[in-house]
Amino acid sequence: MADNGDEDCQYRIKEGDYVVLKRGDIYKAVQIQSRKKVVFEKQWFFLDNAVGQLYSSTFEIVSGGILQPQKPKNLESSSDAKEAGTDNRNIVDDGKSQKLTRDDIETLKEQGLKGQEIIKQLIENSSTFRDKTEYAQDKYIKKKKKKYENSVTILKPSCRILAMMYHGREPGKICHLRYDTLAQMLTLANIHAGSKVLVFETCAGLVLGSVMERMGGYGSVIQMYPGGGPVRAGVESFGFPSHFHDMLHEFPICHVNALLAGTLDTTAKDPSADEKQTNSTAEEEQIQPEAEQQDSPEQQSMETNSGEAAGPDQEKIEREKRKEAKAQEKKMKLDEKRKKLAAATVLLEGRNADGLVIASRFQPCPVLMGLIKFLAPSRPFVVYSQYKEPLIECYTKLKEQGGTVSLRLTDTWLRHYQVLPNRTHPVLLMSGGGGYLLSGTTVAADRSKPAGSQRAEEPAPKRLKMTDTVE
């Protein structure tokens, strides 16, 4: 029974959970916090009443921003008098068919009428609703429902939902990566529990979080990051348990060449950080005397007036304490960064990674050529790019270098369909493209001979004739 309770608890909303709010095709990732006002689609409300409810539940926003679980209802009952008209040829959209004005609708809202009741009033006061066809009536109801119904659905975060959220709101943050392309990346890279995966991405942490979700907290993920530190905003939106982060490691991409050459020293301090620290201390020392010189007349006047000489000394002591605290904090951060670098270096030195995933806005060819050396033989890799030209360069380079097989450069085409009785057809609006993928598998090539001579010595494949038989 305890196991069933724990399993049921996984599907219920708890305080502190990261959730995704949904209304129509609009998504937003938030965290459940007590008495925290959330703004979604120009409406504000509190998520306190959602705690304890099941995920994928729909709530209605009532007065005061309070969520109330929505009861099961049949929207079609709101139009009991709905009758299928002949056709729409005599309907003129002159803006005079609706008797209710905007002020009347605002008055209905102030009276406490809910979205379903407002829709019913709009139907009753429409002079052309009964003349429309049944399909046009359904379309009218759905349009008004989307505008006037104050409801929100709370979903459990997943890689598909978060990919749809980013692609709908901020596609540039994830390099216009579509959720079907992301699913193909996870499949082509053979992401599974217990494996060691290298990830280089600039997609706000979406690809990294998707890899971690697929691995289920088992194995190790090494994030190769550019710049000063890794970006993991999308990883936080997944709301992973704490043990998921134990499998996550980080390694700066700028140290890859030193690691491959065997010259990387993980015990040495970060020279850039030391330079910054010395520069900052020099600036502080320059600023402090100037400040003391500027304040000296005031201090002298205060000393003469009050006769208290301990004030400047006390300020100087406090300033020294703050400086020491900052230096200690910097030292702790550098030590922690050094430990993480050493742990990731140990994982990379074996050059036995099980998979490589690259999805970034940078030119992928130099990144791929450097990171593919950390893969063990017979391991998959996949590279995503919004454009095909960079991947063509990678394809040509890999063919020249050798050591890979099953190279494929593909793109996907996705189109949604409206599935309704007697009116199933493709949706008119669709995404222009989902980017391109380059995938392949590493092999243990014979390094004693160049790749060109190896291919020249291989016998040419036999061409089958019409009379040949294959056994």
Q: What is the pLDDT of residue 282?
A: 43
Least confident of 151-160, 181-190, 196-205, 447-456: 447-456
Residue 110: Cβ within 10 Å count:
8
How confident is the model over 108-126, as pLDDT tens digits? 666 666 667 777 777 777 7
Report the alpha-carbon distance of residue 197 to residue 191 in Å, rounded. 8
**pLDDT at residue 371 tops 70:** yes
Q: What is the pLDDT of residue 291?
A: 40
**pLDDT at residue 284 tops 70:** no
**pLDDT at residue 253 tops 60:** yes
Residue 20: Cβ within 10 Å count:
21
Q: Give the model's confidence band at 240: pLDDT under 50 very low, under 70 low, under 90 confident, else very high.
A: very high
How confident is the model over 255-273, as pLDDT tens digits? 899 898 888 877 765 544 4
Q: Give the model's confidence band at 81: pLDDT under 50 very low, under 70 low, under 90 confident, else very high.
A: very low
User: What is the percent of the chain where pLDDT is above 90?
Assistant: 37
Residue 450: Cβ within 10 Å count:
13
How confident is the model over 142-156, as pLDDT tens digits? 777 777 777 889 999
Residue 224: Cβ within 10 Å count:
26
**pLDDT at residue 90 tops 50:** yes
**pLDDT at residue 205 tops 90:** yes
**pLDDT at residue 288 tops 50:** no
Q: What is the pLDDT of residue 109?
A: 66
**pLDDT at residue 49 tops 70:** yes
Q: Give the model's confidence band at 278: pLDDT under 50 very low, under 70 low, under 90 confident, else very high.
A: very low
**pLDDT at residue 290 tops 50:** no
* Domain 1-156 in this protein, CATH class: alpha beta
More confident residue, 133 or 357: 357
More confident residue, 421 or 407: 407
Sequence ranges of the chain with CATH classification 3.40.50.150: 162-263+347-457
How confident is the model over 32-47, as pLDDT tens digits? 998 899 998 888 899 9
Q: Is the dihedral of CA 75, 80, 81, 84 positive or negative?
A: positive
Least confident of 99-103, 235-239, 418-422, 447-451: 447-451
> CATH homologous superfamily of domain 162-263+347-457?
Vaccinia Virus protein VP39 (3.40.50.150)
Q: What is the pLDDT of residue 162?
A: 95
**Average pLDDT of the residues in 427-444:** 89
Most confident of 85-89, 101-105, 185-189: 185-189
**pLDDT at residue 178 tops 90:** yes
**pLDDT at residue 237 tops 80:** yes
Least confident of 80-89, 161-170, 198-207, 323-332: 80-89
Q: What is the pLDDT of residue 320?
A: 82
**Average pLDDT of the residues in 447-463:** 46
Sequence ranges of the chain with CATH classification 3.10.330.20: 1-156
Q: Mean pLDDT of all residues in the chain? A: 79
Report the alpha-carbon distance of residue 174 to residue 359 in Å, rounded. 9
Residue 16: Cβ within 10 Å count:
10
Q: Give the model's confidence band at 423: pLDDT under 50 very low, under 70 low, under 90 confident, else very high.
A: confident
Least confident of 114-128, 165-179, 229-243, 373-387: 114-128
Q: Give the model's confidence band at 107: pLDDT under 50 very low, under 70 low, under 90 confident, else very high.
A: confident
How confident is the model over 379-420, as pLDDT tens digits? 999 999 999 999 999 999 999 999 999 999 999 888 889 888
Q: Give the model's confidence band at 323: pLDDT under 50 very low, under 70 low, under 90 confident, else very high.
A: confident
More confident residue, 363 or 264: 363
